[in-house]
Amino acid sequence: MAEQNFDLIVVGGGPGGYVAAIRAAQLKMNVALVEREHLGGICLNWGCIPTKALLRTSEINHLLHHLDAYGFKAENVSFDIAKIVDRSRKVANQLSGGVKHLLKKNKVTVFDGAGKLDGVAGGNRKIKVEKDGKPVADLTAKNVILATGARARQAPGMEGDGKLIWTYKDAMVPKELPKSLLVVGSGAIGIEFASFYHNLGVDVTVVEMMDRVLPVEDEEISALARKSFEKQGLKIRTSATVKDVKKAANSVTATIETGGKTESITVDRVIVAIGIVGNIENIGLEGTKIKVEKTHVVADEHLFTGEPGVYAIGDLVGPPWLAHKASHEGIIAVETIAGLKTHAMDVTNIPGCTYCMPQVASVGLTEAKAKAAGHEVKVGRFPYIGNGKAIAMGETEGMIKTVFDAKTGELLGAHMIGAEVTELIQGYVVAKNLETTEAQLMETIFAHPTLSEMMHESVLDAYGRAIHF
């Protein structure tokens, strides 16, 4: 098979890989993209996008059952789970098709298959592409970006079987709605599925081995989230582990240990959401200088792996494992390859969003981490109940919290829970990226009436100047 030569080969077409390929094409590189399954990767096809379509549907169902508060009346409200799933899949397919169009528009050559490092020839990296064990192409390029992503971590004894114990993929395409559900893990994925199914009327129990739900979030936000979830009717067990599961014909009985005490619950289905493992297998890492730690490739601040000409981005490398982080890393890697001046990735400037109800979003250091890092802090808070727009919307549950360095006024972190905080958080992300001080934020004019006014009030509160609460 004749070799095809490129300036850059990107292995993996997810939100890191396809963005890297397009940016490289903008910089006049001749680019090949190798993708074994779906353009857009897990994010567009089985993650970020279709799950938000599902969550939007469940939010609508929730509102339809609470119309009295808005002066409406509806009777015999029902839904069709098949149509809900179908809409989610159509949204995913539309966006995956959009990625295909963008790659074609930017003249990126796409290869359908699995890519694998295959040595060096004449100073170029070699990539072998295969599909179902059959050769597709032999490619060469001076530089390669590995963007093979990750997959759900399997729990021993609770491996996904597609019927009773679900992975995130199974949970997104239910043929029928279970009456009861156990969600193992309360990170973003677990809590989003818990929220989706609960809002459709499923009896949901969440088990988390850490001492709080959403354990990466600020402790105060985690506590408010748990209070809200339990008020809605979710059952939550923290500092808990699933010790055993027994499958019946159409149910699962799980033994849960909490503080030395055990309980058994029987549910229709179980969703396991306990993290991810990097897709490091069969990509040719053997015999290279590439290091792997805890199933993830080690890369420096410019995404270089230490193996000449090989970079790695996205879920394949270090946390946080987020689509927008992968995209940004792709751009850093490509621009480094192109010889442009690039900035190192600063994980404290990466926002995190959880699309449960109420939503949760954050950027930067939690209050506890800021103190642990040696900062003397000033902390501001502002509740949704004090905001006119939130009251008008009927969304009075939530809070915005800001953490500043007391000596310099530097914004160290911002943490939110409530309606639309996944949109609001970007204001603090921009402020943090620009190294905005508390004085500049105080002097910023926020439109009225908006939810964003709470961002201003939280800053003011950190310095004893809040007006409306």
Residues catalogued as catalytic: 448
Q: Where are the beta strands (DSSP E) in 308-433?
A: 310-312, 352-354, 360-364, 377-383, 399-405, 411-417
Q: Go through 402-431 and write b for each residue having 16 or more CB atoms within 10 A of its CB, e for each that does not.
A: bbbbeeebbbbbbbbbbbbbbebbebbbeb
Q: Which residue has the tokens 């020839």?
A: 121
Give me the helices (H) in 256-393, please. Answer: 323-337, 367-372, 388-393
Answer yes or no: are the C-beta atoms of 386 and 469 closer than 8 Å: yes
User: What is the β-pairing status of strands 124-131 and 114-121?
Assistant: antiparallel
Q: What single-letter DSSP state applies at residue 423?
A: H
Is residue 51 packed enough to be buried (19+ CB in 10 Å), middle (13-18) or exposed (0-12)? buried
Rounded to the nearest 10°, the torsion over CA 190, 193, 195, 197 is: -140
**Beta carbons within 8 Å of 65's beta carbon, 6+ residues apart:** 77
- What is the DSSP track for 213-272? SSTTS-HHHHHHHHHHHHHHT-EEE-SEEEEEEEE-SS-EEEEEEETTEEEEEEESEEEE
Q: Which helix (H) or strand (E) holds 8?
A: strand 3-11
Q: How far is CA 406 from the centre of its chain?
A: 31
Q: Exposed, middle or buried: residue 91 (CB in 10 Å: 0-12, 13-18, 19+)?
A: middle
Q: Rounded to 5 degrees, what are φ and ψ at 271?
A: -110, 125
With CA atoms as reference, report the closest residue to 191 among 157, 219, 218, 215.
215
Output the CA–CA distances (angstroms, integers) from residue 404 to 413, 431, 466, in the order listed.
Answer: 7, 12, 15
Q: What is the dihedral angle through the alpha carbons of 129, 134, 138, 142, rounded to the nearest 10 degrees?
A: 20
